C-alpha cells in the first residue's frame, strides 16, 4: 500500500513541464519512494529537474531524468533555452500560483524573448501562462496567443434604467435566451450573416477554406467554459474624458467569447507546424515560434487576424440582435480582445506582443475586466505602463481549477450566493461559481499602476453554458407564471 500520493499539479508547481514526464515521474516515485514523505519526493524531483544530467545514469530516477534532458537539442534543428531569462515584471505576485511563475520563467529563457510581464490574475496554462505577456522580435508563438484566438469582451451601454432588469426580469432573460447559443460544438441551423465570412483569407489558405462552412454556422454563438452573455447595471461615478458618458446608471449588455472552432483549429494547426519546425527543450516545447519572414509565420498572422475579426463579428451579431429587440442603439460600445498578438513599438523597436489572457492597456485605451457571475466587472482606461508592456489582467483569474471547483462547491452554495447578489443565472456550472475565482477587488488593487477605473458593471442576468441552476426566486416566479 503506497503512502505517497503525488498529483500532476504538484509536479507542475515545482516546474515540471506538460507532457509524458508528469505521469512517468508520478509512477516511478510512487513505487520507488512509497515510504517517503511527499516533501522528500518533491525535493528529489526538484533536484532531478534542476540537473537531469546528474541523474541520467541512475537505474531508477534516470528514466525521469532522460525525459527531462533536451534530446532534441542534439538534433539538427534543436534550439536551446538561454541560461538566464530576461527580466520581467510581476503584478500582484501574492495572488499568483507557482506553476504560472515557472511557465513565465521558462518563456523568459526563449532566445526570441525581448520583454515579458505577468498580470495579477495569472494562472497555469498551456505554453505561456494565462495572464502572461511576452514580446518577441520578428517571430510569433501560436501558443503565446492561446487556443481561443481573439477571445474578447464586448459591452453595450444603453440609456435604459437598469431597474428594469429587476422589474422585467423575465423579459430580459428571454431576450438573452433567444439571441444566444451556447455549447461546445453549438451551431445555428440557419447561419447568421456577416461580411467577415467573405474575407479573402478564407480563399487564400486551404486550412481556412476547409473551416469556412462550420465557422459560418457558429457565427454568433458563444461556446462554453467561462464564456457568457449577461445584462447588468453600468455605474459611472464621474464623467471620463475618454469614455465620455455622463455620471449615472445605465443598462449594460456584456459578452465574453472567442473564435470558436475556427480559432481553435488555426491555433492547433500552426502550433503543430511550429513545434515540428523548432525543437525546443520539453518544458518550452509548446512555445515554439514561427518566423515572420517565413511563409508559415505570415500564414499564421493572416489566420490569427481573421479569427480575431470573426470573434468580433460573433459579439456584434449578439449585440445587434439584442439592441434590435430592445429597440435601442447603444450609447457606447467598449470592446477588447485578450488572446492575441500585436505589432507594437517597445523602446523604439517594433516587437510582437503576445497577450494570453491579458487586456491591452495602452495610454487611454478602454477595456473591460470582468469579475465573476456575481462580482462586479470594471470598465478601465489604460495608463500605458511600459513595465506591464501596456497590459492589465483579463479578469479575476481562477482560484480553483475546474475539477476542484466541481468537487468542493455545492449547488446550494451557488444558489445562495446568487440570491445574495440578486443575480439570475440562466445557465452555468459549478466550475464557474464565484468561489472558483480570485477576489476581483484584490486583483484590481494589484494593477492600480496599470489601469484607471472609469466604470463598474454589476451582473444581474447571466447566461453561460450548462444546465440552469435555479434560484428560489426564479422557481417561485416560474410557478407563478405556470412554466
Partner DNA sequence: ATGTAC
Q: Is 429 in the site for DNA (CB under 7 A)?
A: no
Q: For residues 61 and 118, which CB has a smaller minimum distance to DNA in the complex? A: 118
Q: Are strands 130-136 and 113-123 parallel, antiparallel or unpaired?
A: antiparallel
Q: Which residues pair with 425 in a beta bridge?
A: 462
Taking CB under 7 A as the binding criterion, the range among 4-12, 156-164, 191-199, 221-229 that sits at the site for DNA is 221-229
Q: For residues 336 and 474, which CB has a smaller minimum distance to DNA in the complex? A: 336
Q: How far is the CB of 234 from DNA (least distance, A)?
A: 23
Q: For residues 71 and 244, which CB has a smaller minimum distance to DNA in the complex? A: 71
Length, in residues, of the chain? 483
Residue 454: closest CA among 373, 318, 342, 361: 361
Q: How far is the CB of 120 from DNA (least distance, A)?
A: 17
Is residue 117 within 8 Å of residue 88, measured between CB atoms? yes
Q: Is 147 in the site for DNA (CB under 7 A)?
A: yes
Q: How far is the CB of 432 from DNA (least distance, A)?
A: 8
Taking CB under 7 A as the binding criterion, the range among 92-100, 147-155, 160-168, 438-446 that sits at the site for DNA is 147-155
Quick one: DSSP state of residue 433?
A: S
User: What are the cell numbers at 312?
Assistant: 468580433
Q: Is 260 in the site for DNA (CB under 7 A)?
A: yes
Is residue 394 within 8 Å of residue 369, measured between CB atoms? yes
Of 162, 225, 371, 434, the residue at the interface with DNA (CB under 7 A) is 225
Q: How far is the CB of 262 from DNA (least distance, A)?
A: 8
Taking CB under 7 A as the binding criterion, the range among 33-41, 179-187, 382-390, 410-418 that sits at the site for DNA is 179-187
Cα 293 from Cα 125, distance rounded (Å):
28
Torsion, Cα of 381, 383, 388, 392 (10° steps): -10
Q: How far is the CB of 400 from DNA (least distance, A)?
A: 14
Map 232-253 to HEC letters. EEEEECCCCCCCCCCCEEEEEE
Q: Which residues pair with 156 in a beta bridge?
A: 253, 333
Range 74-78 contact pairs with CB under 8 angstroms and sequence separation of 24 or more = 75/279, 77/277, 77/278, 77/279, 78/279
Cα 39 from Cα 399, distance rounded (Å):
23
Q: Is 227 in the site for DNA (CB under 7 A)?
A: yes
Q: Is 214 in the site for DNA (CB under 7 A)?
A: yes
Q: How far is the CB of 168 from DNA (least distance, A)?
A: 29
Of 257, 390, 393, 447, the residue at the interface with DNA (CB under 7 A) is 257
Of 136, 224, 255, 474, the residue at the interface with DNA (CB under 7 A) is 224
**Max Cα-Cα span within the chain:** 74
Q: For residues 44 and 96, which CB has a smaller minimum distance to DNA in the complex? A: 96
Please give the C-alpha separations between residue 103 and each of 24, 84, 100, 144, in angstroms, as whole numbers: 20, 14, 5, 11
In the range 87-146, which residues lie near DNA by CB under 7 A? 126
Instruction: Kindly list the residues in this chain that would bind DNA in the complex (CB under 7 A).
Output: 126, 147-148, 151, 183-187, 214, 218, 223-227, 257-258, 260-261, 264
Amino acid at each position: 500500500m503506497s503512502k505517497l500520493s503525488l498529483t500532476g499539479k504538484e509536479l507542475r508547481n515545482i516546474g515540471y513541464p506538460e507532457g509524458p514526464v508528469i505521469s512517468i515521474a508520478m509512477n516511478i516515485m510512487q513505487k520507488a519512494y512509497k515510504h517517503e514523505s511527499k516533501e522528500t519526493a518533491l525535493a528529489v524531483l526538484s533536484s532531478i529537474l534542476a540537473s537531469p544530467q546528474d541523474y541520467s545514469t541512475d537505474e531508477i530516477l534516470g528514466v525521469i531524468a532522460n525525459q527531462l534532458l533536451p534530446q532534441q537539442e542534439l538534433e539538427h534543428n534543436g534550439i536551446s533555452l538561454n541560461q538566464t531569462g530576461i527580466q520581467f515584471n510581476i503584478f500582484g505576485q501574492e495572488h499568483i500560483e507557482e506553476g504560472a511563475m515557472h511557465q513565465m520563467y521558462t518563456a523568459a529563457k526563449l532566445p526570441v524573448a525581448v520583454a515579458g510581464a505577468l498580470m495579477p490574475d495569472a494562472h497555469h496554462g498551456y505554453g505561456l501562462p494565462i495572464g502572461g505577456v511576452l514580446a518577441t522580435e520578428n517571430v510569433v508563438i501560436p501558443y503565446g496567443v492561446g487556443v481561443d484566438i481573439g477571445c474578447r469582451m464586448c459591452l453595450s451601454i444603453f440609456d435604459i434604467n437598469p431597474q428594469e432588469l429587476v422589474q422585467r426580469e423575465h423579459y430580459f432573460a428571454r431576450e438573452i435566451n433567444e439571441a444566444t447559443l451556447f455549447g461546445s460544438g453549438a451551431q445555428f441551423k440557419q447561419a447568421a450573416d456577416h461580411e467577415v465570412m467573405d474575407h479573402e483569407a478564407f480563399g487564400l489558405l486551404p486550412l481556412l477554406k476547409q473551416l469556412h462552412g462550420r465557422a459560418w454556422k457558429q457565427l454568433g454563438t458563444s461556446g462554453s467554459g467561462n464564456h457568457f452573455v449577461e445584462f447588468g447595471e453600468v455605474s459611472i461615478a464621474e464623467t471620463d474624458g475618454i469614455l465620455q458618458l455622463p455620471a449615472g446608471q445605465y443598462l449594460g449588455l456584456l459578452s465574453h467569447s472567442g473564435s470558436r472552432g475556427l480559432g481553435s483549429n488555426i491555433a492547433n494547426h500552426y502550433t503543430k507546424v511550429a513545434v515540428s519546425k523548432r525543437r525546443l527543450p520539453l518544458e518550452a516545447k509548446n512555445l515554439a515560434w514561427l518566423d515572420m519572414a517565413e511563409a508559415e509565420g505570415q500564414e499564421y498572422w493572416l489566420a490569427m487576424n481573421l479569427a480575431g475579426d470573426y470573434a468580433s463579428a460573433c459579439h456584434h451579431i449578439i449585440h445587434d440582435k439584442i439592441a434590435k429587440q430592445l429597440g435601442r442603439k447603444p450609447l457606447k460600445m467598449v470592446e477588447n480582445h485578450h488572446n492575441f498578438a500585436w505589432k507594437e513599438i517597445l523602446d523604439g523597436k517594433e516587437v510582437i506582443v503576445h497577450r494570453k489572457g491579458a487586456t491591452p492597456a495602452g495610454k487611454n485605451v478602454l477595456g473591460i475586466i470582468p469579475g465573476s457571475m456575481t462580482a462586479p466587472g470594471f470598465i478601465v482606461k489604460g495608463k500605458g505602463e511600459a513595465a506591464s508592456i501596456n497590459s492589465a489582467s483579463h479578469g479575476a483569474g481562477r482560484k480553483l481549477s475546474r475539477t476542484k471547483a466541481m468537487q468542493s462547491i455545492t449547488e446550494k452554495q451557488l444558489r445562495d450566493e446568487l440570491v445574495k447578489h440578486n443575480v439570475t443565472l440562466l445557465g452555468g456550472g459549478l466550475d464557474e461559481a464565484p468561489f472558483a475565482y480570485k477576489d476581483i477587488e484584490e486583483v484590481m488593487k494589484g494593477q492600480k499602476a496599470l489601469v484607471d477605473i472609469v466604470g463598474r458593471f454589476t451582473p444581474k442576468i447571466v447566461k453561460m453554458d450548462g444546465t440552469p441552476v435555479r434560484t428560489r426566486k426564479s422557481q417561485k416566479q416560474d410557478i407563478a407564471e405556470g412554466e
